[in-house]
């Protein structure tokens, strides 16, 4: 192999090694919610990155396979090439053949190792950590293409690895498994802060969220007597006037004791602008209902699933505390306890994310 061809192959192997290192770190460092937002906006690359995160074990195995192949290629191609180029030079200056080859080999090994560490490992790793989402979307499609092509080999290697782990009584986790309890997560947060991996503010937010997530929503309920409502027959202008007077953007349409919904002042303004003859009941959206002892985490999940900012809260009636169907729906029954007030998503998230 001539020198120019060998140098081109060396450069390609270093680029390939950097590609796999960057792809590996991108899958771990990228924030999933940002990729989900980009994927929802139509980004195929973000969707591919999300798919890779969902198959993280397979993707990491693919990255390790690529890194190993590139490293072996550098050992097979680059080191002999450099050593073979330098050896005659040392021989011409008077070194014996064996000594010339040894010196050339040591220099070649040091040079290839340096290039591999700096260009093939550290530089792509630093770039990925600095721009995790950008690197994940940039690398996702070609990397996923490689892993799909090499999937049979990667799956076989994964299977053999899992078999070896089972021999020493280690049970591999399935993709998507959640092995962490709140106590374990709290321990991870404390250790991360002790080791300086997260800032004090992040530590406070995570600790607050873990401690508050299982607390009931009782302390966050706005009592029924303080809830501002408008009649179901209210006009758009009456809704606007009530919102301005109460300094609220959302109001309950209808009595809390009956079928109720939430009406937004924005919808009232749009209806007035169109000149539509509608009532507050027609502008209102259904409200989810929660038991008063529902946990904050369950309440947030329910409100997000219902795409609602407010929920009605009813007294316990002996049934397990859990998110329920929209209040006032056809299959809602009077067996549900009396409405004691409402709870807002803003208050729930503030409790989770703002340290006390």
3-state secondary structure the chain: CCHHHHHHHHHHHHHHHHHHHHHHHHHHHCCHHHHHHHHHCCCHHHHHHHHHHHCHHHHHHHHHHHHHHHHHHHHHHHHHHHHHHHHHHHHHCCCCHHHHHHHHHHHHHHHHHHHHHHHHHHHHHHHHHHCHHHHHHHHHHHHHHHHHHCHHHHHHHHHHHHHHHHHCCCCCCCCCCCCCCHHHHHHHHHHHHHCCCCCHHHHHHHHHHHHHCCCECHHHCEEHHHCCEECCCCCHHHHHHHHHHHCCCEEEECCCCCCCEEEEHHHHHHHHHHCCCCCHHHHCEEEEEEECCCEHHHHHHHHHHHCCCEEEEECCCCCCCCCCCEECCCCCCCCCCCEEEEEEHHHHHHHHHCCC
Q: Is the pLDDT score of 254 beyond 70?
A: yes
pLDDT category of residue 109 using cuts at 50, 70 and 90: confident
Q: Please compute the mean of the pLDDT values over residues 213-238 and round it to a whole number.
A: 87
- Give the pLDDT score at 12: 93
Q: Is the pLDDT score of 263 beyond 80?
A: yes
Q: Is the pLDDT score of 321 beyond 60?
A: no
- Give the pLDDT score at 260: 67
Q: Is the pLDDT score of 329 beyond 50?
A: no
Q: Please compute the mean of the pLDDT values over residues 188-214 and round it to a whole number.
A: 74
pLDDT category of residue 266 using cuts at 50, 70 and 90: very high
pLDDT category of residue 54 using cuts at 50, 70 and 90: confident
pLDDT category of residue 101 using cuts at 50, 70 and 90: confident
pLDDT category of residue 18 using cuts at 50, 70 and 90: very high
Higher pLDDT pick, 210 / 151: 151
Whole-number percent of the chain with pLDDT over 70: 87
- Give the pLDDT score at 316: 65
pTM value?
0.51
Which residues is 313 bridged to in the sheet? 290, 341
């Amino acid at each position: 192999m001539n020198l120019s061809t060998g140098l081109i192959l060396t450069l390609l192997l270093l680029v390939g090694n950097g590609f796999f290192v960057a792809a590996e770190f991108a899958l771990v460092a990228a924030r999933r919610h940002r990729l989900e937002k980009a994927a929802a906006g139509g980004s195929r690359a973000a969707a591919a990155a999300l798919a890779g995160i969902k198959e993280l074990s397979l993707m990491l195995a693919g990255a390790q396979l690529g890194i190993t192949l590139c490293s072996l290629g550098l050992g097979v191609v680059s080191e002999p090439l450099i050593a073979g180029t330098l050896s005659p030079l040392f021989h011409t200056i008077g070194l014996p053949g064996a000594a010339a080859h040894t010196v050339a080999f040591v220099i070649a090994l040091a040079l290839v190792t340096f290039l591999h560490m700096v260009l093939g490992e550290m530089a792509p790793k630093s770039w990925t950590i600095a721009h995790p989402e950008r690197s994940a979307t940039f690398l996702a499609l070609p990397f996923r293409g490689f892993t799909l092509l090499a999937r049979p080999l990667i799956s076989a290697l994964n299977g053999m690895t899992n078999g070896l782990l089972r021999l020493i009584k280690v049970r591999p986790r399935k993709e998507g498994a959640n092995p962490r309890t709140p106590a374990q997560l709290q321990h991870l947060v404390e250790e991360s802060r002790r080791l300086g991996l997260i800032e004090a503010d992040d530590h406070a937010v995570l600790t607050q969220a873990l401690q508050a997530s299982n607390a009931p929503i009782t302390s966050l309920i706005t009592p029924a007597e303080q809830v501002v409502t408008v009649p179901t027959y209210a006009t758009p202008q009456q809704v606007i006037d009530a919102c301005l007077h109460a300094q609220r953007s959302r109001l309950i349409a209808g009595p809390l004791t009956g079928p109720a919904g939430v009406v937004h002042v924005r919808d009232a303004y749009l209806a007035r602008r169109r000149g539509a003859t509608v009532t507050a009941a027609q502008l209102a959206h259904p409200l989810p209902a929660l038991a008063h002892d529902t946990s904050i985490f369950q309440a947030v999940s329910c409100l997000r699933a219902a795409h609602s900012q407010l929920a009605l809260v009813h007294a316990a009636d002996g049934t397990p505390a859990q998110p329920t169907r929209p209040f006032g729906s056809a299959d809602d029954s009077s067996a549900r306890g009396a409405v004691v007030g409402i709870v807002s998503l803003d208050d729930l998230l503030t409790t989770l994310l703002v340290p006390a």
